[in-house]
Amino acid sequence: MYYTKDHEWVKVEGNTATVGITEYAAKQLGDVTFVEKPVTGKDIKKGQVLCDVESVKAASEVYSPVSGKIAQVNGSMEEFPGIVSSLPESDGWIAKIEMSDPSEASQLMNAQQYGDYIRTIK
């Protein structure tokens, strides 16, 4: 698992990156009420907006931590958007991206680095 300073997580399996928001981000947002689904098949660059997430507290953009093509979107989000906040780092994943440059993932933070980062912003 890798993490961004914008509180996205990435799980890499081969050339596929599964992306979601971190538990920290989910707690900051509160109960998610709507997720704008990313478009399957769309090319996306690292740092571009992947989707918008709305909650009872705020609206937030989720950024793509890697470049590639959106291969799959979590269908559960449409009927149960709260899955993104209730199970943020497992079943609440947002999209799977076929990475065009797998080395981008290695530029992200590992779990320990992300934990250290979170402690600096609390």
Alpha-carbon gap, residue 20 to 6, rounded angstroms: 11
Quick: pLDDT tens for 5-59. 999 999 999 999 999 999 999 999 999 999 999 999 999 999 999 999 999 988 9
Q: Which CATH architecture best describes the domain 2-121? A: Beta Barrel (2.40)
Q: Name the band, by pLDDT with cuts 50, 70 and 90, for residue 117.
A: very high
* Domain map (residue ranges) of the chain: 2-121
Q: Contacts by 105-110 with C-beta closer than 8 Å and gap 24+?
A: 105/2, 105/10, 105/12, 105/17, 105/65, 105/66, 106/2, 108/2, 108/3, 108/4, 108/10, 108/65, 109/2, 109/3, 109/4, 109/5, 110/1, 110/2, 110/3
The answer to whether residue 122 scores a pLDDT higher than 90 is no
Alpha-carbon gap, residue 28 to 46, rounded angstroms: 23
The answer to whether residue 65 scores a pLDDT higher than 80 is yes
pLDDT of amino acid 34? 95
